[in-house]
C-alpha cells in the first residue's frame, strides 16, 4: 500500500521568501516520488521526480526536492518565491515494483503576496 | 509537443442523463487514466487502462464506466449522472510501469 500526506492545505509566503511545501509518504517498497503543479483552470504538469538516483532532485522553475528515506519525506523547496509560483502543488507516490498507479496527496495551495 | 486533449472543458447536465467524457492522446502511450479532483480531496483515481480494451478499477469506480477501443482514446461514461458527480475530471496518459503522467486540461462537469 502507498499513501501521501501533504502538511498544510494552504501556504502563504511573500515574494522573494523561501518556499517549503511538505510531503511525507508511506510505501511498502522503494518509491518513485513526484511533485506536480496545477495553475488555475489547467491540468497538472510535472515539476520534478525522484526515481532512486540522486536524492536531491532539481526540477523546473527553480524548484527542488530532497528524498529522505529516514524521514519518509520528499519536501519541495524554492529559495525565492515569485508571484508566478502561485498555484496548487501535489505530491504523488508510486511503487518502484512492477506496475503501480500514482497516488496523490490532497494538494497544497501556495499563495504569494507582493 | 505532447498533448492530451479532453473534448469538453465545461459541461452542464441534468440528473439521470448519460454523460460521455472523451480523452485523446497523441503520444502513443500505453496507459491512460481518469481522475476526479475535488477541493480538499486531491485527485482520486476512477479507472485506468494499460492496453486497448483493457480496464482496471481505481479507488472510486462506482457510478462510472470506461471504454478504450483505440490506443489513443479513453472515454469516461456516467450512465446516470447524479449531483454528487459534479466535479473536475482529469484525463492522463503515461508510458511504462512508473512513467510520468501527462494531463489534459480537465473537464468541469456540473450535474443539476
| Interface membership of A41 toward B (CB under 8 Å) | yes
Residue A100 has pLDDT above 90, yes or no: no
pLDDT band, residue A42 (cuts 50/70/90) = confident
Q: How far apart are CA B98 and CA B109, in angstroms?
A: 29
B45 half-sphere exposure, CB direction, 13 A CA radius = 21
Separation in Å, CA of B88 to nearest CA in chain A: 10
Contact A32 B50 (CB under 8 A): no
Contacts of B33 in chain A (CB under 8 A): 101
Q: How confident is the model at residue A95 (pLDDT cuts 50, 70, 90)?
A: confident
Cβ-defined contact of A106 to B41 (cutoff 8 Å): yes
- Please tell me which residue, B21 or A29, carries the higher pLDDT value: B21
Encode pLDDT of A43-90 as tens digits: 999 999 998 778 899 999 999 999 998 999 999 999 999 999 999 999
Whether the predicted pLDDT of A99 surpasses 90: no
Q: Which of B51, B82, B52, B47 is nearest to B65 (CA)?
A: B47
Assign A60 to helix, strand or coil: helix
* B1 pLDDT more than 80: no
Q: Does any CB of chain A come closer than 8 Å to the CB of residue B42? A: yes
The reported pLDDT for the residue numbered A29 is: 73
Determine which of B37, B93, B101, B103 to mutate to test the interface with A (most A C-beta atoms within 10 Å): B101
Judge whether B23 is closer than 8 Å to chain A, CB to CB. Answer: no
| pLDDT band at A2; cut points 50, 70, 90 | confident
Residue reference for cell 503515461: B94
Amino acid at each position: 500500500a502507498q499513501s501521501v500526506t501533504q502538511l498544510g492545505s494552504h501556504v502563504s509566503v511573500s515574494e522573494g521568501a523561501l518556499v517549503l511545501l511538505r510531503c511525507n509518504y508511506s510505501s511498502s517498497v522503494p518509491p518513485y516520488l513526484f511533485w506536480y503543479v496545477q495553475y488555475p483552470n489547467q491540468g497538472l504538469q510535472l515539476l520534478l521526480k525522484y526515481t532512486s538516483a540522486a536524492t536531491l532532485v532539481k526540477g523546473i522553475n527553480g524548484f527542488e526536492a530532497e528524498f529522505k528515506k529516514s524521514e519518509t519525506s520528499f519536501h519541495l523547496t524554492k529559495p525565492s518565491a515569485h508571484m508566478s509560483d502561485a498555484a496548487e502543488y501535489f505530491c504523488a507516490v508510486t511503487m518502484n515494483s512492477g506496475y503501480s498507479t500514482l497516488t496523490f496527496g490532497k494538494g497544497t495551495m501556495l499563495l504569494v503576496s507582493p | 509537443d505532447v498533448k492530451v486533449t479532453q473534448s469538453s472543458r465545461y459541461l452542464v447536465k441534468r440528473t439521470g442523463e448519460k454523460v460521455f467524457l472523451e480523452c485523446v492522446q497523441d503520444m502513443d502511450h500505453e496507459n491512460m487514466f481518469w481522475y476526479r479532483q475535488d477541493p480538499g480531496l486531491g485527485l482520486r483515481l476512477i479507472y485506468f487502462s494499460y492496453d486497448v480494451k483493457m480496464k482496471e478499477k481505481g479507488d472510486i469506480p462506482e457510478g462510472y464506466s470506461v471504454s478504450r477501443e483505440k490506443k489513443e482514446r479513453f472515454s469516461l461514461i456516467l450512465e446516470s449522472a447524479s449531483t454528487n458527480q459534479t466535479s473536475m475530471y482529469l484525463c492522463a496518459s503515461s508510458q511504462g510501469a512508473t512513467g510520468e503522467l501527462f494531463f489534459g486540461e480537465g473537464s468541469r462537469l456540473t450535474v443539476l
